[in-house]
Structure 1
């Protein structure tokens, strides 16, 4: 397969996933939350994040190892069979540990806990079998299976959510439906692999290679710390407060938009990673590409952050109708200021990952987790969901500063002062523009369109959005 064809298929995979996830976030998740209520959804969201954090037990990097193994030797059935048996053992271990942990934490809805644990196991198995598609370079088919479970649910849920039906929503039905969609997708994937005569295991080759876990352990630790660092605030919010379920639901409603906006940074980082990796391997300078990526992502994120702040009330009213409150709008506005810091994080973490600096990444992620937990303990009791939002903003800022210092320390590069001055000036102009536009008596949608248009023009003037440079960098 040519590099150009491979890049095209990876691009398709990413874009399809982004498109389906956006539909899922705004048309399904949001509507389900409005149907079941913020408190019920808050309980679900807390348990979902708890099972997600511990899911690293279920897959400590085995899927990536499998893809690597298949790319080297597709005929080593013994090694591959051993990998599947090992994954089954880890899934059972994950089930036991997560259930015991739920008892310790006092997660009272054990049926929902079990359903979401099984969903994580099913999704992980689907990802595992999809690895065979990647390993055999069936990337076009992998695109289908990457969104099949969500697509099934979107087709199934839209009539129930948007047509006048007598159906009464519960959060357990929502969890069961997700589990069934993953199981259906998993069975279809296994059937397809069998039809293509792609061997996934042989019964006589039962081998448990626990040494493999040792080799992928640093990557597993990094994955765990990143997920815990981003998701622990939800669990703390639910457990610390007496009205934790409702506040978690409010936080989830606001965080949904940050989650959607972050996909742009993830998409960009997926293109950036192989480029930086190639430059480092060829001992070429990375300063220019890092600077261009940083400036582009941060400036674009600043536009979204300030737009979210100035138009936070009408945006929340548009999406959450009578459930929208001043508090929800404030939490949403604060959370969206995390976006430029997340963009900074993705640029520098991509750089250190390409450099294979796992110890450094684990140190930064551990620091971020400790800071986030400490700030949440301090702020959640007094400010509730707003406290969790402020904790996220402050911890992202500290981690971003740490990344910037270590970038200079390890690579001896630093951004010229003029870049920081231009970004600060740009932020000031965006703030001024938003303040002026929101004081003019015009329709807020029209005002928002003007804001985005003028912000982009100013960004082009500052040379933050140099399309030619970005196109050249990607090519």
Structure 2
């Protein structure tokens, strides 16, 4: 299982570095630079609202399905028609709540139209995630990883074509509409590959079965809602509460895009971890080796990437964005460090989800929401969008640390399973290395950035968080 995770993690990393790197920095960045800042800021705020409410369309079915199939793969054909029926019902509920919430927050006219378009994309995204969870639950990790980037490949082709051949037609509505199209095509592609495993593709409406699935997904749904709420309310609060909120949300979105870029790999690795943890748990096998390796890889990797990004936030934002200013760099500084906490969350969130303990975390997630909202109400009037980024770092760190401590306690896993001292030493040495590298005036900042990345990777090996001899064995071993 350990080597399977490592091989698929390498595959996911390579896919996303190439495809999502091109999309985020070649397509989405260019779109934001071409459009008025307030237009993209409004889109980013509405996207955050859609992501918070997306839990209604998903209701934890993705995680419940992945966990269930990992231990009992024969259940896919039995329950798939009922899952489809439930997704249709939940989709209608999602749109109703989205409309009511949009009107309650004061959105009108074109804003509501854009919200519905974004909501359509979120609904299809939810469907794709559910279909992909079936692939992961069946152990088709490489195929799942391939479909994770299909929508971005299509976006690169379509929006890239508009940028090259008809840039005058570019608008935020066209951009959001293209996302809907790409998610729809991706859903059709995943469904095509699943059809051989299914005897019936028609939705079935049986009250008892649908209630059973809802009860199974409910603990995950509540956890997802709470987690999304404390991580996405900041954009909505910036856009609604601050003067020139849409403009400031655009600057916040610029920093958040870089967080999303590096965060995608961690999120996808968590998607690999959950079915693997679930399969080990169903077999009654030890979870320690996979936990240790995943925490070391995710957290050490996050430190190696986030510290250089934070150290060179100012030249990075000026390189990428025409509208960059000092506060854009300050936002990126705090958000890039958030990646470390999020990776710790991914490692332990997948573990708790696979073992059925995620529902117990809801009290912690509620505390995270209270901390985030209260922190933003205090910080936004004083420090603007930069304060919101700092509050995000504080909230994510609190939830990540609490989740890790509780996971070890609930699952009776010794704290020494993970080499925390080595991770703390890496976290302490990287800023020192950043100061030393920054003192090399003869080297341009890009060279300093690459040197700091290489230094971080070297420290990971020196501290033996990942062994040099271990890597080839994990890559080549067959299970």
Q: TM-score range by the shorter chain?
A: 0.7 to 0.9
Q: What secondary structure is seen at the aligned counterpart in 2 of 1:381?
A: helix
Label 1:473 to 1:364 Cα distance change in 2 as closer, same or farther (>3 A): farther
Q: CA deviation at 1:72?
A: 2.5
Do structure 1's residue 30 and structure 2's residue 25 form an aligned pair? no
**CA–CA distance in 1 between the matches of 2:35 and 2:169?**
9
Cα deviation, residue 136, structure 1: 8.0
CA shift, 1:449, in A, is 2.3
Q: After TM superposition, give the deviation of residue 40 of structure 1 in Å.
A: 0.9
- With 385-394 and 295-304 compared, the bigger mean Cα shift is at 295-304
Inter-partner Cα distance in structure 2 for 1:4 and 1:291:
13
Post-superposition offset of 1:299: 3.0
Please report the TM-score for the alignment, with normalisation by the length of structure 2.
0.84
CA distance in 2 between counterparts of 1:30 and 1:251 reads 13
- Provide the aligned length of Structure 1 versus Structure 2: 467
Which deviates more, 131-140 or 163-172? 131-140
Partner of 1:241: 242
| CA shift for structure 1 position 433 | 2.2
Asked if 1:337 is matched to 2:337, the reply is yes
Cα deviation for residue 99 of structure 1 reads 0.2
2:363 equivalent to 1:363: yes
Give the Cα–Cα distance (whole angstroms) in 1 for the partners of residues 433 and 142 of structure 2: 44
In the alignment, is residue 462 of structure 1 matched against residue 471 of structure 2? no
Relative distance call for 1:110 and 1:405 in structure 2 (3 A) is same
Contact 2:141/2:272, CA 8 A, preserved across alignment? no
Partner of 2:233: 232
Is 1:121–2:120 an aligned residue pair?
A: no
Q: Distance in 2 between matches of 1:224 and 1:60?
A: 9
TM-superposed CA distance for 1:331, in Å, is 1.1
Partner residue in 1 for 2:202: 201
Structure 1: which 5+ residue stretches go unaligned?
A: none
- Measured after TM superposition, the shift of residue 360 of structure 1 is 1.9
- CA distance 1:133–1:338, shift in 2 (3 Å): closer
Summarize the Cα distance change of 1:286–1:176 in structure 2 as closer, same or farther, 3 Å threshold.
Answer: closer
Partner of 2:92 in structure 1? Answer: 92
SS, match of residue 179 in structure 2: helix
Q: Tell me the distance in 1 between the aligned counterparts of 2:184 and 2:153.
A: 13
Cα 1:166/1:45, change in 2 over 3 Å: closer
The answer to whether the 8 Å contact 1:371/1:395 transfers is: yes
Task: Classify 1:333/1:122 alpha carbon distance in 2 versus 1 (closer, same or farther; 3 Å).
Answer: same
Work out the CA distance in 1 between the residues paired with 2:275 and 2:147: 24
Q: 2:11 & 2:335 partners in 1: Cα distance?
A: 29
Which of the pair has the greater relative contact order for Cα pairs under 8 Å at 6+ separation? 2
User: Is the Cα contact below 8 Å between 1:349 and 1:361 reproduced in 2?
Assistant: no
- Residues 5 and 272, structure 2, Cα contact 8 Å, conserved in 1: no
Partner of 2:19: 20
By how many angstroms is 1:22 displaced? 2.8
CA contact (8 A) 2:136 2:275 kept: no
Aligned-pair RMSD on alpha carbons? 3.6
Q: Distance in 2 between matches of 1:65 and 1:382?
A: 42
**Residue 160 (str. 1) matches residue 159 (str. 2):** no
Give yes or no for contact 2:310–2:336 (8 Å, CA) kept in 1.
yes
Further displaced range: 411-420 or 449-458: 411-420
1:134 offset after TM fit, Å?
Answer: 6.8
- Identify the range of structure 1 (189-198 vs 146-155) with the bigger mean alpha-carbon deviation: 189-198
Residues in 1 aligned to 2:220 and 2:37: alpha-carbon distance in whole angstroms: 35
Match of 2:314 in 1: 313
**Residues 56 and 223 in structure 1, CA contact (< 8 A), matched pair in contact too:** yes
Take 1:291 and 1:268, find their aligned partners in 2: how far apart are those partners?
14
Could you report, residue by residue, the CA deviation over 1:191-234 in whole angstroms, capped at 9, with x for unpaired residues?
Answer: 777899853116xx554444131232111111212222221111
Deviation at 1:329, TM superposition (A): 0.9
Whole-angstrom CA distance in 2 between matches of 1:141 and 1:434 = 38
Residue in 2 that maps onto 1:58: 57
Do the aligned partners of residues 195 and 337 (structure 1) sit closer, same or farther apart at CA in structure 2, a change above 3 Å counting? closer
Any conservation in 1 of the 2:230–2:395 contact (CA below 8 Å)?
no
Secondary structure of the corresponding residue to residue 387 of structure 1: helix
Q: SS of the counterpart of 2:415?
A: coil
Sort the Cα spacing of 1:242 and 1:12 in 2 relative to 1 into closer, same or farther, 3 A. Answer: same
Does residue 1:440 correspond to 2:440, yes or no? yes
TM norm structure 1: 0.85
Higher mean displacement: 276-285 or 42-51: 276-285
1:149, 1:409 → 2: CA distance? 40
Contact 1:299 1:459 in 2 (8 A): yes
Write the distance in 1 (CA, Å) between the matches of 2:288 and 2:103.
Answer: 50
Report the structure number with the largest CA radius of gyration: 1
CA distance in 1, matches of 2:150, 2:107: 30
